[in-house]
């Protein structure tokens, strides 16, 4: 693996490779940005480059140190992620215990903490002491998609490496090369912020089924006296799709936006591109204001789900508003 294998994130790669080249690697980094935009892959790549015995600012992938990282058994690399809903103080204490031993090589030890913003207060305070006074030379990489939740004192003691969402065209090209059908790829790319997130979503058996159901309900809602509300709950909750209503409302939001894209002649931005014929015949059935209102309905429904509202009631209310 090499930095060249990481799509996008040119600024992040430049900062990290410059640090390697100048022998100025910091004691701690904060990789922050939207989930799925490549932070973990970059963190592992950076660790591998630190250990590599061949390259100055990258990883050769062939030396013993590189192969240990790739096989997940490097003794000087520790990975830590939430145990359940949070990272607990015992996990940080175990990390400290492991780092009390000397490194097996000439390089510092490396630890990667995924979901760092999900540390308990006790765990965060314990990590803070570790950041200030590690028992051995160490490089810490904290990964977070909500860095504002981290203690300000932790933020101030780390070098921030910002990650941004990958450009949709880059993700579409990568997914296309992997054989993903264009309609599904465009939908997944529009619902996630990174290639890893896209692949994870596309791997779900229910994703394509959900897309088909959203199209059916969206088309029914444009007709008078439709049976969308009567049949939606039965279709969704009997098939298990009701567990993924956040994706359903996200797809509806994209559908309504596609109507606006057609009205404004931005056909290249349409997500449901395989439905262009239908969209062209129905986009003018509603005003721009109505399509915007429908997008707001979808966003509001998604917000209600996050507030633990009854899922089936959320869906029924949403569809009723579309038909009114």
Residues 177, 254, 201, 80, CA torsion sign: positive
Both tokens of 294, joined, read 């429908």
Q: Cα separation of 314 and 308, whole Å?
A: 10
pLDDT for 145 beyond 90: no
* Residue 196 near residue 38, CB atoms below 8 Å: yes
Q: Cα separation of 217 and 268, whole Å?
A: 24
pLDDT at position 179? 95
Q: Cα separation of 205 and 130, whole Å?
A: 43
Span 305-318, average pLDDT: 84
Residues above pLDDT 90, as percent of the chain: 57
Q: Cα separation of 15 and 176, whole Å?
A: 30
* Residue 163 near residue 39, CB atoms below 8 Å: yes
Span 61-77, average pLDDT: 92
pLDDT at position 165? 81
Going from the N-terminus, what domains does the chain have, and what CATH number goes with each?
Answer: 3-162 (3.40.50.300), 204-323 (1.20.272)
Q: What are phi and psi of 294, to 5 degrees?
A: -65, -40
| 3-class secondary structure, 30 | strand
pTM: 0.72
């Amino acid at each position: 693996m090499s930095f060249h294998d990481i799509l996008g994130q040119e600024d992040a790669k430049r900062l990290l490779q410059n640090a390697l080249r100048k022998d100025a690697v910091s004691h701690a980094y904060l990789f922050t940005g939207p989930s799925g935009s490549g932070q973990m892959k970059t963190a592992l790549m950076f660790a591998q480059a630190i250990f590599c015995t061949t390259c100055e600012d990258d990883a050769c992938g062939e030396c013993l140190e590189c192969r240990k990282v790739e096989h997940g058994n490097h003794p000087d690399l520790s990975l830590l992620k939430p145990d359940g809903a949070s990272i607990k103080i015992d996990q940080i204490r175990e990390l400290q215990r492991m780092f009390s031993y000397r490194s097996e090589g000439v390089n510092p030890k490396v630890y990667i903490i995924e979901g760092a913003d999900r540390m308990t207060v006790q765990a965060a305070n314990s990590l803070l002491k570790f950041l200030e006074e590690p028992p051995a030379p160490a490089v810490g990489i904290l990964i977070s998609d909500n860095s504002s939740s981290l203690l300000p004192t932790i933020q101030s003691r780390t070098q921030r490496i910002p990650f941004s969402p990958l450009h949709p065209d880059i993700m579409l090209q990568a997914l296309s090369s992997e054989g993903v059908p264009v309609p599904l790829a465009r939908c997944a790319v529009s619902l996630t912020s990174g290639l890893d997130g896209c692949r994870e979503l596309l791997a779900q058996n229910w994703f394509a089924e959900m897309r088909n159901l959203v199209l059916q309900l969206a088309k029914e809602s444009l007709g008078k006296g439709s049976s969308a509300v009567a049949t939606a709950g039965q279709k969704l909750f009997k098939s298990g799709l009701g567990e993924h209503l956040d994706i359903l409302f996200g797809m509806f939001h994209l559908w309504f936006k596609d109507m606006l894209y057609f009205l404004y002649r931005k056909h290249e931005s349409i997500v449901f591109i395989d439905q262009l014929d239908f969209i062209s015949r129905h986009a003018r059935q509603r005003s721009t204001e109505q399509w915007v209102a429908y997008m707001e309905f979808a966003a509001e429904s998604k917000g209600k789900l996050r507030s633990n509202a009854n899922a089936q009631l959320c869906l029924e209310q949403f569809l009723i508003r579309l038909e009114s």
